[in-house]
């Protein structure tokens, strides 16, 4: 068992789950535009969260590492990681909305981002 291989598998899994939750959030709330900063923050948070939890994973010799990790992850950590990603997305979106002082539509957010103070939000 190579620790580097476990870390690689864990990082890929965390980023995959984060991406799935970003896509699900975008489908549920199409009026909110998730920018690259939010996407990056969610992926980093997912990797951090799973890194903390992977110490609970016990590798058994003679079995495929990917399969063992995927089974352990599905049984023990997947639901928590999905909730963490969703919570992180909502926090990041709320921070953007609160910083603007108003609820912004995705169009307003886009225009504000590209036009700055020249775009007024009603």
Task: Say how far apart CA 1 and CA 77 lie, in whole Å.
Answer: 21
What tens digit of pLDDT does each residue of 61-102 get? 888 888 899 999 999 999 999 999 999 999 888 887 777 665
Distance CA 16, CA 9 (A): 11
Tell whether the model's pLDDT for residue 119 goes beyond 50.
no
DSSP state of 101: T
The per-residue pLDDT for 55 is 84
Provide the residue range defining the domain that includes 67: 3-118
- Give the model confidence (pLDDT) of 15-59 as tens digits: 999 999 999 999 998 888 898 989 999 999 999 999 989 888 888
The answer, as to whether pTM is greater than 0.85, is no
* Tally of domains within the chain: 1
């Amino acid at each position: 068992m190579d620790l580097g291989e476990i870390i690689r598998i864990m990082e890929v899994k965390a980023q995959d789950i984060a991406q799935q939750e970003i896509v699900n959030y975008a489908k549920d709330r199409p009026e909110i535009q998730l920018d690259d900063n939010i996407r990056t923050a969610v992926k980093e948070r997912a990797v951090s969260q799973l890194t903390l939890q992977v110490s609970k994973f016990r590798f058994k010799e003679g079995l495929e590492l990917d399969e063992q990790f995927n089974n352990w992850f599905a049984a023990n950590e997947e639901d928590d990681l999905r909730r963490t990603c969703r919570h992180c997305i909502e926090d990041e979106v709320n921070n953007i909305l609160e910083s603007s002082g108003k609820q912004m539509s995705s169009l307003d957010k886009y225009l504000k981002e590209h036009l700055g103070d020249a775009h007024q939000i009603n």
